[in-house]
A and B are shown apart, each in its own frame.
Chain A
Amino acid sequence: MKNLLSAALIIVSISVNAQVIVKGKITDKNGSPLVGANIIIKGTYDGTITDSIGNYSLKVNTENSTLIATYMGYINQEIPVNTAKGQTEINFKLKESANQIEGVVISAGTFETADRKRSVTLQPLDIVTTPSATGDIYGALTSLPGTATIGEDGRLFVRGGDGYESKTFIDGLLSKKPYSSNVPDLPSRGRFSPFLFSGTTFSTGGYSAEYGQALSSALILNSNSLPQKNQTDISLMTVGGGVTQTIKSENSSISAGVEYFNLAPYSKLTTQRFEMNKYPESVGLTLVARQKIGDHGMLKLFSTYSGTEFGLKYPDLTTPGSMSNIALKNKNNYSNLSYTDKFGKGWTLKSGMAFTYDKNNLNLQAFQVNESNKNLQAKITLKKSFSENASVLFGAEETFNSFNQDYTETATTFSNNSHFDDFNSAVYAEGDYRPIAKLALRAGVRGEHSSLLNKSNVGARLSAAVKITNSSQISLAYGNFYQTPEEDLLRFTHNLSFEKADHYIANYQWEKSNRIFRIEAYRKNYKDLVTYNPNEYWNGDFYKNSGGGHSQGIDVFYRDRMTFRTLEFWISYSYVDSKRKYRYYPEMVTPSFAPTHSASFVAKKWVQSITTQFGLSTTFSTGRPYNNPNSTEFMDGRAPFYHDISINCSHLRTIFGKSAIIYASINNLLGRDNIYGYRYYSQPNTDGVYEAFPLKNDSKRFYFAGIFITL
Chain B
Amino acid sequence: MKKTILTAAVLMVLGTAMAQQPSYENAMLETLTMYDSAKTTTDLQTLASRFERIATTETSKWEPLYYHAFLNINLSFREKDGDKKDALLDIAQKSIDKALEVNGDKSELYALQGFLYQGRIQVNAMRGMTYSQKASEILENAVKENPKNPRALFLLGQNIYYTPKMFGGGVKNALPKFQEAKALFENENGKTGIAPKWGAKANQRMIDSCNKENS
Contacts and interface: CB of A to CB of B under 8 A. Distances in A.
Contacts of B27: 45
B127 to A, nearest CB: 9
B111 to A, nearest CB: 16
B163 A565 contact: no
Interface in A61-114: 61, 68, 70, 72, 101
B81 A5 contact: no
Given A568-B126, A606-B128, A36 B49 contact: yes
Nearest to A606: B126
B49 A514 contact: no
A228 B137 CA distance: 10
Interface in A555-578: 561-562, 565-568
Interface stretch (A380-388, A418-426, A434-442, A608-616): A608-616
Interface centre among A38, A229, A566 (most CB of B within 10 A): A38
Nearest to B121: A608
A40 B53 contact: yes
Interface string A5-32: 1001101100100000000000000000
B5 A5 contact: yes
A229 B137 CA distance: 10
Contacts of A43: 57
Contact of A72 (B13, B91, B162): B91
Q: What class of interface size applies to chain A in its complex with B?
A: 35 or more
Contacts of B86: 118
A606 B45 contact: no
B82 A125 contact: no
A8 B133 contact: no
Contacts of B126: 561, 566-568, 604, 606, 613
Contact of B167 (A61, A562, A654): A654
B125 A49 contact: no
Interface in A185-237: 228-229
Nearest to B30: A45
B46 interface: yes
Nearest to B141: A229
A49 B46 contact: yes
Contact of A652 (B87, B124, B133): B133
Contacts of B213: none
Contacts of A38: 49, 52-53
B50 interface: yes
A409 interface: no
Interface string B18-43: 00101010010000000000000000
B195 interface: no
Contacts of A61: 20
Nearest to A231: B137
A413 interface: no
Nearest to A8: B9
B102 interface: no
Nearest to A18: B16
Given A43-B57, A45-B53, A613-B129, A514 B124 contact: yes
B109 to A, nearest CB: 15
A335 B82 CA distance: 41
A513 B87 contact: no
A313 interface: no
Interface residues of B, number: 45
Nearest to A512: B83
A661 to B, nearest CB: 9
A43 B24 CA distance: 12
Given A46-B53, A566-B126, A12 B133 contact: no
A322 B81 CA distance: 65
Contacts of A608: 125, 128, 162, 164
A650 B129 contact: yes
B130 interface: yes
A611 B164 contact: yes
Interface in A151-166: none
A132 B6 CA distance: 85
A659 B20 CA distance: 54
Contacts of B13: 8, 11-12, 15
Contact of B6 (A4, A48, A228, A604): A4
A15 B16 contact: yes
B10 A8 contact: yes
B12 interface: yes
A125 B90 CA distance: 21
B211 interface: no
A240 interface: no
Nearest to A566: B125
Given A9-B9, A125-B129, A565-B124, A36 B45 contact: yes
B191 interface: no
Contacts of B184: none
B2 A561 contact: no
B53 A611 contact: no
Interface string A122-162: 00010000000000000000000000000000000000000
Given A118-B86, A228-B137, A653 B49 contact: no
Interface in A574-623: 604, 606, 608-611, 613
B87 A40 contact: no
Interface in B36-93: 45-46, 49-50, 52-54, 56-57, 81-83, 86-87, 90-91
Nearest to B124: A561
Task: Report, nearest first, the 7 A-B pairs whose CB atoms are least far apart.
Answer: A8-B9, A566-B125, A45-B27, A15-B16, A653-B167, A40-B53, A38-B49
24 contacts: A4-B6, A5-B6, A5-B9, A8-B6, A8-B10, A11-B13, A36-B49, A38-B52, A38-B53, A40-B53, A42-B57, A47-B50, A49-B46, A68-B56, A70-B56, A513-B82, A561-B124, A562-B82, A565-B124, A568-B126, A606-B128, A611-B163, A613-B126, A613-B129
Given A514-B123, A608-B125, 13 more contacts: A4-B6, A5-B6, A9-B9, A48-B49, A70-B52, A512-B83, A514-B83, A566-B124, A568-B124, A604-B126, A611-B129, A653-B167, A659-B136
